[in-house]
């Protein structure tokens, strides 16, 4: 299920999507390899794109939320996939 703007806004540092406390970064998946990585401390939310190259898993950093909105992150994901 794709992310919603509300889910991105409500992502809390240190509390994962199941509502339990965590000391590790966690991911909120949007689909197509795009996800939001939420850090356990601080105020950081990073857009990342997971993909495979030459049989190996790679990650592409798309930007930091809220500088890059959900809509912009999806557009950048599509642009990155078009260049492969």
16-50 pLDDT per residue, tens: 667 777 788 889 999 999 999 998 875 789 999 99
What is the value of pTM for the model shown?
0.85
**Where are any strands of DSSP class E within 1-84?**
26-31, 34-38, 45-53, 56-65
Q: What residue ranges define each of the domains in the chain, with the CATH number in brackets?
A: 5-82 (3.30.160.390)
pLDDT for the residue 39: 86
pLDDT digits (tens, 9 = 90+) for 37-46: 998 875 789 9
């Amino acid at each position: 299920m794709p992310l919603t703007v509300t889910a991105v806004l409500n992502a809390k540092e240190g509390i994962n999507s199941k509502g339990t406390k965590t000391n590790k970064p966690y991911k909120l998946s949007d689909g197509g390899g795009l996800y939001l990585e939420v850090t356990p401390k601080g105020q950081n939310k990073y857009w990342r794109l997971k993909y495979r190259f030459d049989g190996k898993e790679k990650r592409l950093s798309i930007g930091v939320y809220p500088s890059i909105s959900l809509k912009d992150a999806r557009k950048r994901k599509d642009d990155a996939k078009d260049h492969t």
